[in-house]
Structure 1
Amino acid sequence: MDTIPSPLITAEELRRALGSEHPPTLLDVRYKQGGAPGAPEYAAGHLPGAHFVDLDRDLAAAPGRAGRHPLPAVDDFGAAMRRVGVSSGRTVVVYDDWVSAAASRAWWLLRWAGHPDVKVLDGGLGAWRAAGLPLTDSQPVTEEGDFKPAPGAMQMLDARQTGEFARTGLLLDARAGDRYRGEVEPFDPVAGHIPGAVNAPTMENIAPDGRFLPAAELAARFRTLGVADRPTAVYCGSGITAAHQLLAMAVAGYEGALYPGSWSEWCNNPDNPVATGPLPG
């Protein structure tokens, strides 16, 4: 396991960075599946200098056969990021109020598209508030960025490759156990999981205060799952919390591939096999 800089930043570290000579570009990616829209909450109060990024509009294409949150077109994503001031030579920090799940999507997309320096505020908005740091309803000055995506810096799989990966590597299903087992399915038309996938719920990476577990604890968890021994890929319902799992793996020093279409794409193809119940021991 290689030692790499953490992709997380604490509230205090961010406070200092925002007051420095070269502050990061700050993105508010508030989004909750089935929850209130993020834009009104952003308007009511956000971190000073933060620009709002809409997950459905800026970090995904329209839902369809490729899933509920397909990757956005590269040119569209680049334009959206430039509109909120993202430049290749400037650190980007992203945060949300959903245990960093939406922020992880932004982190993964920016890293996949070639941005070299992206961090997630550990604990998100809650950690900033808990530190007694201020919010504002003022809109930041818009500065056009120069970021031009160059995709391929992070590993990605399509449905065919994911099916093969489940047989040759370690495929993690980041959803809750009851969805993995097919006992419930609140969002997609078919319940179950990709045959051969191992359940590894994303929420088990998070402490009660909403921050990620320490790197050593995450590393121990992923070693138990077998991440240290086999190439690893991750999927979830629509590619959002799978990015969160990959962020947790990065904190622990591991890399993996994302299946962006995830279960929402997989289960919409009747030719794809479906498994239910726990993984056979």
Structure 2
Amino acid sequence: MKKLVVLLLISISAFAMEPIVSAEWLKKNLADKNLRVVHVSEPDDYLLEHIPNAQNSSIGKWRVAQENYLLVRSSQEIQDEIRKLGIDKESKVVLYAPISSPMDLLKSTYIFWALNYHGIKDVAILNGGMSSWRESGYELSDQVNSVEKSDYIVKIDSRLVADKAYVMQKLNKLPMIDARPADKYLGITPTDTVERDGHISGAMSYSWNYSIDNNYMLKDIKKLEALFRDGYKLDKESEVLVYCTGGLETSFNYFVLSGVLGYKHVRLYDASMKEWGNSKETPMVKYTYEVFAR
């Protein structure tokens, strides 16, 4: 009996999914009936080549223009896309992109957040994107595989999103992290789509790309853990708000904090600086780094 229990535990752990998975893990689990692999790109790129059994979804299926910025689509539209991909509450979802620029990776992490926001929690990113799969010597396919639509009903987790009113209410009351490059945060370099330079008053700077290496692989998790705990003094039980220019860059910080490191209350300001920095009444600071003090 003891031996049977041990074997069962080993079997369960073999199929447990971390929020960042390797190409080797994905290859071993590709036949799992509950696994849904999503290739994040425009359809033409997907049709050229993709990981076997992967479905295609583009960022445009998840975001829509609203005024001067982009926001996550309506819950009905997101539900339609989730169902089309065959995702339900039992699914494990692995997202990846053929990464030719940083933006490709960020589209994957935005969908990671959008799935979490709509109630799908068992989601992972393929470390290094499609290149890591190819470099591991695994085959790619140009075959389009059909998947049975699910009947999933979205469950909005309102704790994962912030609007301008919420940010205004929480100024200097909780830590906020700006995911843009430091020169944008400081207001030294302007952003074409943002009228005012600088950052949200009280926010700290942590450019999202500090967490990856030149091959888009996640850096050492223990070092990231120590950085946010000891350097930024973040508490895993307390709320932290993340933002950037328009929602994409900050989705990577959301992924690292909420997904990889297990911070329990990470809230993403979707409209970010494209809303805040184009509004005249919002408090902003420039030319200085700020530190949040509880």
Shorter-chain TM-score category? 0.7 to 0.9
Aligned-partner residue type, residue 38 of structure 2: L
More helix by share: 2
Extract structure 1 runs of 4+ deviating beyond 4 A.
Answer: none
Counterpart CA distance in 2 for 1:85 and 1:280 is: 44
Counterpart CA distance in 1 for 2:160 and 2:194 is: 28
- Taking structure 1 as the reference length, the TM-score comes to 0.88
Cα deviations by residue, 1:3-25 (Å, 9 ceiling, x for unpaired): x97311111111111134x2511
Counterpart CA distance in 1 for 2:143 and 2:17 is: 32
CA 1:265–1:125: 2 relative to 1, 3 Å? same
Q: Give the counterpart of 1:194 among 191, 195, 200.
A: 200
Partner of 1:8: 20
Partner of 2:35: 24
CA 1:167–1:28: 2 relative to 1, 3 Å? same
Partner of 1:209: 215
Aligned-partner residue type, residue 218 of structure 1: L
**Contact 2:163–2:271 (CA<8 Å) still a contact in 1?**
yes
CA 1:171–1:216: 2 relative to 1, 3 Å? same
Counterpart CA distance in 2 for 1:212 and 1:172 is: 19
Unaligned runs of 5+ in 2: 1-15
Counterpart CA distance in 2 for 1:42 and 1:217 is: 34
* Alignment pair present for 1:175 and 2:180: yes
CA 1:239–1:280: 2 relative to 1, 3 Å? closer
Counterpart CA distance in 2 for 1:10 and 1:219 is: 19
Deviation of residue 216 (structure 1)? 0.8
Partner of 1:39: 43
CA 1:18–1:128: 2 relative to 1, 3 Å? same
- Across the aligned residues of Structure 1 and Structure 2, the Cα RMSD in angstroms comes to 2.1
Partner of 1:109: 114
Partner of 2:9: none
Deviation of residue 152 (structure 1)? 0.9
Partner of 1:62: helix, strand, or coil? strand
CA 1:211–1:109: 2 relative to 1, 3 Å? same
Deviation of residue 51 (structure 1)? 1.5
Max radius of gyration: which structure? 2
CA 1:153–1:280: 2 relative to 1, 3 Å? closer
* Alignment pair present for 1:221 and 2:224: no
Q: Give the counterpart of 1:277 among 257, 279, 287.
A: 287
CA 1:88–1:153: 2 relative to 1, 3 Å? farther
Q: Give the counterpart of 2:261 among 243, 252, 261.
A: 252
Aligned-partner residue type, residue 262 of structure 1: S
**Contact 1:91–1:117 (CA<8 Å) still a contact in 2?**
yes
**Contact 1:234–1:246 (CA<8 Å) still a contact in 2?**
yes
Counterpart CA distance in 1 for 2:280 and 2:160 is: 26
Deviation of residue 147 (structure 1)? 2.0
More strand by share: 2
Cα deviations by residue, 1:10-66 (Å, 9 ceiling, x for unpaired): 11111111134x251111113xxxxxxx3322221111111111112x11122424x
CA 1:141–1:258: 2 relative to 1, 3 Å? same
Counterpart CA distance in 1 for 2:280 and 2:54 is: 43
Seq. identity, %: 23
CA 1:111–1:183: 2 relative to 1, 3 Å? same
- Taking structure 2 as the reference length, the TM-score comes to 0.84
